[in-house]
Copies of this chain bind each other. A is one copy, B any other.
Amino acid sequence: MFRFRTDATTIYAHYKVTKPLLGMPHMPATGVSGLDLYARDKDGKWRWVQVVRPGAQEMKLRLADGLDAGEREYAIYLPLYNGVEFLNVGVPEGKKFVGLKPRAKPVVFYGTSITHGACASRPGMVHTAILGRRFDVPVVNLGFSGNGRMDQAVGEFLTRIDAAAYVIDCLPNMNAAAVTEKCVPLVKQLRAARPDTPIILVEDRRNTDAWLKASLRKHHDDNHAALKAAYEQLVKEGVKGLSYVPGDHLYGDDSDGATDGSHASDLGFHRQADIFEPFLKAALGR
């Protein structure tokens, strides 16, 4: 997320993404390769302004125009799945344009393709982004599509970030045996390096077709049980500052929270954010 202040009523952007494939069959180019612009309203709340509809790998465009007069803070979310080779943001000559200093410590999310952002329709609609706006905190999104596996090497990297909280949300990429093997060591690794940073463990969401597939139900049941056992062991061993998010309702209860069964739509992300919110609130001491 890139933040700035301006009094301009037109905002320009020029950027190039690293990969020519701009969208995916189950996720539009607005989410995969778009820039997503928000602004603070007069009450200080973040509200949506505009998203880029990418039509080429390099885009030079008016990101927003016809805005109400007034100086305010803006934020641009970067593309969720494509890389950014370069990004220039500008305003008309004579208008103010000021970059902004970092805010508080970030909330750090370590997870899978879901954390990564699949299948949000815009970069601002991942639950990590929604929560970042709700709490007005910076977010570090370490979602690794297919590879969120509670790895020690990633844990080592996590400990280098002075986080407001760590959210460990890897179970959709793991099975029960892997959870049993890796969860306790990862939490102990984080706790050894950061004695006071809250750590939130998250169960995997239920795939939205699991109601009709016994194999999926068993997979989720086993994963949940393994995470619960790891959590209870850690608590028993005296590890403090842990909390635990149940996964059953993360996408809601009507089977409509995902685009493809596994990956959240904007609806599913919004529901996830609602469920995460009280846990983060407690962790951040709000």
Q: Mark A16-45, 1 if CB is under 8 A from B, else 0.
A: 000000111111111000000001010000
Residues of B within 8 A of A51 (CB): 26, 259-261
Residues of B within 8 A of A124 (CB): 256
Residue of B nearest to A257 (CB): B266
Say whether A94 faces chain B, with CB atoms less than 8 Å apart.
no
Q: Is the CB of A209 within 8 A of B50?
A: yes
**Copies of this chain, count:** 2
- Contacts A23-B28, A265-B265 given: A122-B213 contact, CB under 8 Å? no
Known: A27-B28, A124-B256. A67 touches B270 (CB 8 A): no
Cα–Cα, bound, A259→B31 (Å): 9
Distance of A239 Cα from B41 Cα, bound (Å): 42
Among B24, B41, B211, B269, the residue within 8 A (CB) of A211 is B41
Tell me the bound Cα distance from A208 to B122 in angstroms: 13
Q: Is A2 an interface residue, CB under 8 A from the partner?
A: no
Find out whether the CB atom of B260 lies under 8 angstroms from the CB atom of A30: yes
Cβ B213 vs Cβ A66 within 8 A: yes
Residue A53 is within 8 A (CB to CB) of chain B in the complex: yes
User: Could you mark each residue 229-268 of chain A with 1 if its beta carbon is under 8 Å from any beta carbon of chain B, else 0?
Assistant: 0000000000000000000000000111011110001111
- CB contact list, A258-286 vs B, under 8 A: 258-261, 265-270
Q: How many angstroms from the CA of A122 to the CA of B39 in the assembled complex?
A: 29
Is A130 part of the contact surface with B, judged by Cβ < 8 Å?
yes
Query: Is A82 an interface position by the 8 A CB rule?
Result: no
| A26→B36 CA distance, assembly (Å) | 12
Shortest distance from the beta carbon of A149 to any chain B beta carbon, whole Å: 24
- Write the A158-191 contact mask toward B (1 if CB under 8 angstroms, else 0): 0000000000000000000000000000000000
A267 to B55, CA, bound (A): 24
Q: Are B265 and A53 in contact (CB under 8 A)?
A: no
Contacts of A212 in B (CB 8 A): 39, 41, 47, 49, 67-68
6 A-B pairs besides A66-B215, A67-B212 with CB distance below 8 A are A25-B30, A25-B53, A48-B255, A64-B209, A125-B267, A259-B266
- Ranked nearest first, the 6 interchain pairs of A and B with the lowest CB-CB distance are A265-B266, A25-B53, A48-B255, A266-B267, A47-B255, A121-B259
